[in-house]
């Protein structure tokens, strides 16, 4: 699984205007800039990358230092696997506004995808310091995933706990912490976290495999059978289903 990117409509603009204009002209310019960025993001969501780049380049013609435009353009280049261009625009976004946490989170996710784990952690730790970022729980969830990747289980556990504290419905953090608690033989906590996950997210191979193992601990044969059947029918080629087959000797 990848860590989460934010392909969302940008928020308020920085309001940085480099030319001397009257108040009405500046407001119109900012409105046009936002419209171009939003249009580019809309095209990106539809997979129309050429049109997205056209709109975002127009935004940068209007304001070359727009962090929102640079961030969105970086995401387009990332989707096109033009990784050097993507990184250039992530850096430009953060140079224009080092406090633009959404771009920093997206850059951290990009670095994770490029397997530059230490760099990703550094960016996300900075992002996590923004107490007013409305997706801060996702930053810590992303950090937890990366810490797992590098084998720092203690830091991963702490990051997932922070994520859930910020958003009790943070789905992946709930599932990952449930799995950690199972490995620690803290089965009651694991089951509670798993049940909370089930209320906010659809089952996947990992959650169904955890369900099977928890059910066996508590001798819940009906729940075990239900999760095993779902794992077989929905994810028959998954490593988790292979692990289940090994468990039951099939």
Q: What is the DSSP letter of 19?
A: S
**Would residue 153 count as lying in a domain?**
no
What's the burial of 198, exposed, middle or buried (CB within 10 Å: 0-12/13-18/19+)? middle
**Would residue 206 count as lying in a domain?**
yes
Residue at which a domain ends, from 98, 121, 136? 98
**Would residue 41 count as lying in a domain?**
yes
Residue pair 147/153 in contact (Cβ under 8 Å)? The answer is yes
pTM of the shown model = 0.84
CATH of the domain at 38: 1.25.40.10
**Would residue 151 count as lying in a domain?**
no
Tokens standing for residue 50: 């050429």
Tokens standing for residue 117: 């784990």
Evaluate the CA torsion angle 153, 157, 158, 162 in order and state its sign: positive
Q: What is the pLDDT of residue 249?
A: 87
Whole-angstrom distance, CA of residue 62 vs CA of residue 66: 9
Name the stretches of the chain with pLDDT < 50.
7-21, 24
Which is nearest to 136 in space by CA: 87, 170, 107?
170
Q: What is the pLDDT of residue 15?
A: 36
Q: What is the pLDDT of residue 5?
A: 57
Q: What is the pLDDT of residue 47?
A: 97
Q: What is the DSSP letter of 201?
A: S
Q: What is the pLDDT of residue 6?
A: 55
**Would residue 244 count as lying in a domain?**
yes
How many domains, the chain?
2
Any long-range contacts for 44-50 (C-beta under 8 Å, 24+ apart)?
Answer: 44/7, 44/72, 44/75, 44/76, 44/79, 45/7, 49/76, 49/79, 49/80
Residue at which a domain ends, from 43, 75, 98? 98
Q: What is the pLDDT of residue 60?
A: 97
Cα 222-226-229 angle, rounded to 5 deg: 135
Residue at which a domain ends, from 78, 98, 118? 98
**Would residue 106 count as lying in a domain?**
no
Q: What is the pLDDT of residue 29?
A: 85
Domain ranges, residue 236: 202-250
Q: What is the pLDDT of residue 14?
A: 34
């Amino acid at each position: 699984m990848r860590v989460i990117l934010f392909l969302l409509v940008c928020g308020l603009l920085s309001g940085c205007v480099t030319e001397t204009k009257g108040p009405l002209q500046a407001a119109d310019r900012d409105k046009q800039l936002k419209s171009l960025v939003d249009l580019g993001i809309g095209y990106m969501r539809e997979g129309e990358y050429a049109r997205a780049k056209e709109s975002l380049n127009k935004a940068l013609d209007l304001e070359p230092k727009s962090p929102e435009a640079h961030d969105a353009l970086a995401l387009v280049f990332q989707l096109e696997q033009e990784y050097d261009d993507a990184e250039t625009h992530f850096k430009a976004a953060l140079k224009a506004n080092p406090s633009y946490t959404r771009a920093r989170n997206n850059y951290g996710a990009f670095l994770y995808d490029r397997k530059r784990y230490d760099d990703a952690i550094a960016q996300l730790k900075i992002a996590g310091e923004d107490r007013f970022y409305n997706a801060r729980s996702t930053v810590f969830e992303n950090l937890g995933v990366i810490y797992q990747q590098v084998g720092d289980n203690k830091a991963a556990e702490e990051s997932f706990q922070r994520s859930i504290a910020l958003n009790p419905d943070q789905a992946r953090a709930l599932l990952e912490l449930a799995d950690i608690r199972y490995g620690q033989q803290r089965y009651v906590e694991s089951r509670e976290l798993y049940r909370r996950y089930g209320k906010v997210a659809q089952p996947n191979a990992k959650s169904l495999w955890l369900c099977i193992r928890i059910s066996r601990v508590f001798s819940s044969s009906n729940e075990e059978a239900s999760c095993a059947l779902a794992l077989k029918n929905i994810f028959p080629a998954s490593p988790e289903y292979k692990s289940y087959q090994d468990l039951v000797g099939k």
